[in-house]
Each structure stands twice: as C-alpha cells, then as structure tokens.
Structure 1
C-alpha cells in the first residue's frame, strides 16, 4: 500500500477485514468516503460505535437487541408454545419479514460442523434444552439452512428433542418462486419432490 497515504492505507486494510470486501472494493469505499461530507462520515462512525456499545444478545432467545429480553420475547401476542430454531439472528429477521410466523425463536449462533471443530457444545443447544424445561412448548420448527451443516444440525436436534414429546417440524426446501427447474441442483429438486403437497 506504499502508493497511499498512511491513513488511506489503514482504512483500506480495515475495510478488507469485513466479509465479502476485497482490496478493490475497499479502495472504492475509501475513495467514496473521502468524497462524502464529513458529517455523513461522522454519522457512519457513530452508528458503528453505537451498534458495538448498545446491541447485545437476548438472554432468552439469542436475538440481537438493545433491551433484554428482546421485543419478540416480551411480546404477549406471540404464540409462546411454538419455537422456531434458527442458526443466526439474520435468519430470524428473514422469517420475521414474511409476517407469517407468530411464535418465538431460538438462535443457535451457528451450526454443527465437525470439519471445523464445531460440536453441540459450541452452539446454543443446551440453552434450548434448559428453556424447554422452563417453558411448555407444543412444536419446535427447525429452520436451519439447507446445507450440510444445517442438515446435520436439524437431524441432531430432531433426535435430541423427539423424546421430549413435542412436535418437531422442519421448514420446507425446494424450488424458489421465480426459479427455473433446469437450474435446480439434484438436492434442491429432491427436496422439492419430497415436500410436495396436494392441490
């Protein structure tokens, strides 16, 4: 980075630490910020600091929140007997955007991945079990990602939770709306056929 000033080089280095940001994108962002009014850059810096200082994880579900427990866990209108288990808080937000789910959540903060050394003790499975001992639940919806780690996590949870006597369901997977069958891989097509329903 010898061609840049020290502060420009430092900002580019810091930006490349963000996921999905390579050196070229970091350079573009840096030069964009240099052209941006100082007040806007100051607002961005304050927003970054505020997030780090004020956002924490809900002690009940693991959702991101500025108040504990989070707004979802505090909402008396939510169905308290249905819990949707997701891998990360952004998965929770994806489900919330549908405005179709009115139960509670449990965020695992990851998925099982033996190749990366992530076992059951490394994600929030014990917290889920403790929660189920304290709160009666009729159904657990497993909404982990449809990849190897997500499937392994779903199978592990199903095996662990079935003896507790509640209904265990898995979100459907298959061809997305607007997708073309010719571009679907074998696993997606298999899931779509398995999850078919009567019209």
Structure 2
C-alpha cells in the first residue's frame, strides 16, 4: 500500500474494470502518471463525457448519446429482421465482423433465475411490443452459447412463435461459454451467416 491517497484512489478506480486486478491497476496508474499525463487527462475527460451523456437507445437499448441510436434511425436497414444480443458489445462485434443490415435488440443480460434475472429484468416486454407493432419477419437469436444464453434463446423463440415470427439461431462455431465481443471476425461472420431455425 502506498502512502499517497490520490494514487491509491486511482488504483482502486481502475480495478472496477473487468479483468483488472490490483497489479494491473497499479501498472496502469503508474504508467499514466509517469509516462502519459496527457493520456491520463484525455481518459479522464472522455470518461466524464461518456458517463454524463451516453445512455440506452429508447428502441433497441444499445448505448447512444441520443434518444434513438443511429442504427435504429438508418432507413437503409431492414426493420423486418431483428438480431437479439445480450450486450452493446455484441452489437459492435457483429457490426465489425459482418455485413448485417437488419436492426438490433439488446437484452442487457440473459435469463438467469438463480441470479434473479427474469424476463422483466431484460425488458422483454419491449421486444414483445416490437414484435406486435412492427413488420418483423425474422428474429435472429444471437445470445451467447452458455446455458443461460440457450435458455434465453429458447424463451425468445417461443415469444417469436406466438407472434408468427420466424426465429433463427446463430450457427455453432461460437464456443460454448464464449462471449461474442471476444470472438474473431471470421468465426462471428460464419456463425451469423450459417444461422438455423430454432
């Protein structure tokens, strides 16, 4: 432990990042303070602006600074095909790796009864409203290949069936327990293009 409270606070703040332990946080803090003060100030400003201005799209729930994100407002996208993902990071991964031109719906999690996460915590009523109100032809189930992701996909497929909407599941190739935002572009592109009926 250091005797400098400001340094300790910076190290503790960096530890909130996923995968960052005490040693990594200390290394980052020391790097910023010893070698990149301009980078530290830029990081500070960017975090403050993002924390104050970025929220969730009122339609698809991805991250945006506007009420409705640019993807939802893009008239060249096909509103009849909705790709359901767990996180905004999954949207970015699919956009970077594929030529998908439909729209998205972000669950901000996955069904996990043991953790107290049910349909209402995922805002599935909003997705069901979209299926009811919009001319949706296909619901692509792009949840992760974990037990909870599969349970969520099954629940969504039943929801789609109630509305007469075709439900497809992204193809395997996504490893069991894999997170979409960490897959290489080729695997993700193959999985999306090879989706199947669910």
2:60 aligns to what SS in structure 1? Answer: coil
Residue 47 of structure 1 and its aligned partner are, at CA, apart by: 0.4
Distance 2:169 2:39 in 1: 44
The 8 Å contact of residues 81 and 138 in structure 1, kept in 2 or not, is answered as: yes
Are residue 138 (structure 1) and residue 137 (structure 2) matched? yes
8 Å contact from structure 1 (residues 145, 151) kept in 2 = yes
SS of alignment partner, residue 152 of structure 1: helix
Mark the structure with the bigger radius of gyration.
Answer: 1
Query: Is it true that 1:121 corresponds to 2:135 in the alignment?
Result: no
Would you say 1:75 and 2:74 are equivalent positions? yes
TM-score normalised by length of structure 2: 0.84
Equivalence map 1:38-187=2 (5 Å): 38-174=37-173
Root-mean-square deviation over aligned CA pairs: 2.0
Question: Which runs of at least 4 in structure 1 moved beyond 2 Å after TM superposition?
Answer: 36-40
Give SS of 2:145's match: coil
CA distance in 2, matches of 1:23, 1:96: 33
- Structure 2 residues without counterparts, runs of 5 or longer: 176-190
Shift, 1:17, TM fit? 2.0
Gaps of 5+ in 1: 177-191
Is the CA contact (8 Å cut-off) linking 1:87 and 1:108 kept in structure 2? yes
Cα shift at 1:140: 0.6
| SS class of match (2:120) | helix
Q: Could you tell me which residue of structure 2 aligns to residue 186 of structure 1?
A: none
Aligned residues: 179
- Work out which structure has the larger RCO, using CA pairs closer than 8 Å and 6 or more positions apart in sequence: 2
Shift of residue 110, structure 1, vs aligned partner: 0.5
- Aligned pair in 2 of structure 1 residues 114, 175: CA closer, same or farther (>3 Å)? closer
Q: Which residue of 2 aligns with 1:18?
A: 17
Q: Deviation of residue 145 (structure 1)?
A: 0.2
Give the TM-score, by structure 1 length: 0.84
> Which of 102-111 and 166-175 deviates more?
166-175
